[in-house]
Chains A and B, each alone.
Chain A
Amino acid sequence: MTCDELRERIVDPASAAQGGHAPVVAHLEECAACRSAARDYAALDRLIRPGTPSEPPPDLETRLRQRLTARPGSARRSAWVLAGAVAALAIAAFAARLLRGRSAPSTAAGAIPAASVSTGSAGTRPDAREAPPPDIVAVRSTPISFETTPLTQQEKSEAAVLHDFDFLNSFPTLARLDAFFPEPVGPRAPVSTPSGGFASRPPDSPDALAGRFLDWQRAPRKERERLLDLERAFRNRPEDERALLEDRWTFVRDFSEDQRAGLRRLASRLDDLDARSYERLEAEIRLIGRLPKEARVARWRSLAFAKPLTGQELASAERLLLQP
């Protein structure tokens, strides 16, 4: 057994059990490097476990629902919800009717109405591997769709070439934030395109494409036109600028809604600066980028530009300035 083989076995309990432990033990007895690796793997496992379970913020579901409401097609959401409730009842009624027709007496639990199937375990962590779906699920073999108008080929073509919607909504702001992206804080043109393309690229896998079509199907005409306009505006920019903006987006794509709002406000503040003040600020930020991270915030807050900023604007700027 080679060291590589041993390590691949000890990281996977299932494979480690195959072929018995004797070869593993024999290798470990002879190989100090692998013993050390096994010890470290165990120590790493302990290190990555937090002392207390990490709890998500309590408003997570509220924010999720806000996001879903803000998505294209949100105007139809209330109708979607209402229709969904009706559909759930219909599914339950249909299932009950089917199950009544079966002779086995033990079908009673199988006839749990769909809407109540999950109520027993709410709030508990599920098993990693779950049991096969209940009978009630099999009833719904025909997908229920409330988006009855399928996309035409032309609509699919126009949707497929669009960049990530979130990126399209963000790049005009990013283009106004040059001062916050001087080296070494952020990317500077020319930026080379990564081998797989930027994360903002148009969908290129069947899965991503299917998701895009679903989004597009739900988008009202006005929203589609707005996104198409943004795409055109983006493509009309010079190539090196496009790469720069796509690269910048990788810095901010994980920002919260609040932080993104802060970025938009920052961009407006920058728009109000005269050329000289703008250049001075850019030079200061370049300097801040060269400081150790722990010194950056204090320096940033000492700038005249930062003093009148709101907490939201400060938080957004500081998250940018503390990027690696």
Chain B
Amino acid sequence: MALPRSGVQPAPDSGDLLLVAAGDDAALTRLVARWRQPVYALFERTREPSAAAEATILTFERLVMTAPRYRPESAFSGFLWGLVARIVQDPRPGRVLEIPAPKLAESASARTALVRSAIAALPGGERGAFLLTRVARLSVGAAAEALGVSDTELRRRLVRALENLRVFLRPLLEASGSPPAPAEPDAADRGAPGPGGAPAAAS
């Protein structure tokens, strides 16, 4: 198959969003088909499924409404995640559920509920930074753009989010074998996941 002159694959999302702005229903169907899962998955990490579905619908509704303002020189993904970021940052922080340890051990849904409530308990800015980088897997640069902050601020928020989650989710971390901070360096730690081993770290 011949490539376009630019030598890169065309960006179907950008084209489809312009068609949506022009009133093309089929283009909307294509965009929803391609993006519904990642958008829903992000919301579903912090809200129960029905609320996650509502938030996903709200995202696409706003996408349609703001489509006439989309500028094709910018990436579609940044435009969409920017809309998602506004929605995900919006609710006030909730409270972390208190679930007894035996219940957590036996029930996957209890663990899911605890994780959800912990993410929902983060301040809006931290929640957005965490979800966009850790669930949507955006780069720091792309997430910072979606949230309208600098890369440095994004990294700070991300660290604060992770530090809060370490506290909120301590019961699950301990159950997964992550011990409390040791007092002294330990030779065994040399092989533990450091920056090279952590999923978020450099490869």
Contacts and interface: CB of A to CB of B under 8 A. Distances in A.
A44 B126 CA distance: 15
B5 A135 contact: yes
Contacts, number: 344
Interface in B17-54: 18-19, 21-27, 29-38, 40-41, 44-45, 47, 49-54
Given A36-B179, A64-B60, A131-B8, A106 B40 contact: no
Nearest to B59: A64
B65 A214 contact: yes
Given A104-B5, A109-B1, A143 B21 contact: yes
A32 B23 contact: no
Contact of B33 (A7, A54, A88, A122): A122
Nearest to B6: A132
Contacts of B18: 114, 137, 140
Given A10-B198, A126-B77, A134 B155 contact: no
A254 B47 contact: yes
A143 B176 CA distance: 53
The CB with the most chain B CB atoms within 10 A, among A13, A14, A250, is that of A13
B15 A4 contact: no
B99 to A, nearest CB: 10
Interface in B156-203: 156, 158-159, 162-163, 165-166, 169, 172-173, 176-186, 189-190, 192-203
The CB with the most chain B CB atoms within 10 A, among A30, A56, A145, is that of A56
B112 A84 contact: no
A13 B137 CA distance: 12
A25 interface: yes
Interface stretch (A15-23, A262-270, A271-279, A305-313): A15-23
A123 interface: yes
A304 interface: no
Given A38-B198, A39-B193, A117-B10, A8 B156 contact: yes
B149 interface: no
A269 B34 CA distance: 43
Nearest to B45: A48
A56 B32 CA distance: 11
Interface residues of B, number: 118
A8 B150 CA distance: 13
Contact of B201 (A16, A85, A123, A255): A16
Contacts of A45: 134, 198-200
Contact of A37 (B15, B166, B169): B166
B166 A68 contact: no
Given A32-B186, A135-B4, A130 B36 contact: no
B135 interface: yes
A50 B46 CA distance: 12
A104 B3 CA distance: 12
A33 B166 CA distance: 12
Interface size class of A (residues with CB under 8 A): 35 or more
B106 interface: no
Contacts of A136: 10, 15
A298 interface: no
Contact of B162 (A4, A41, A60): A41
Contacts of A108: 2
Contacts of A134: 4, 6, 10-11, 14-15
A145 B68 contact: yes
B69 A210 contact: yes
Contact of A60 (B3, B36, B95): B36
A54 B40 contact: yes
Nearest to A119: B30
A214 B66 CA distance: 8
Contacts of B91: 199, 250, 254
Given A44-B166, A87-B22, A131-B10, A38 B193 contact: yes
A31 B186 CA distance: 10
Given A21-B202, A29-B185, A60 B53 contact: yes
A10 B202 CA distance: 7
A63 B91 CA distance: 22
Interface in A67-106: 67-68, 71, 80-85, 87-88, 91, 104, 106
B40 A60 contact: yes
A107 interface: yes
18 contacts: A8-B156, A12-B158, A28-B189, A32-B185, A32-B189, A36-B180, A41-B200, A42-B193, A43-B177, A56-B52, A107-B4, A118-B30, A122-B34, A133-B15, A134-B6, A137-B72, A254-B55, A255-B51
Given A54-B52, A85-B24, 8 more contacts: A15-B155, A40-B173, A64-B32, A122-B34, A131-B11, A134-B4, A144-B21, A145-B68
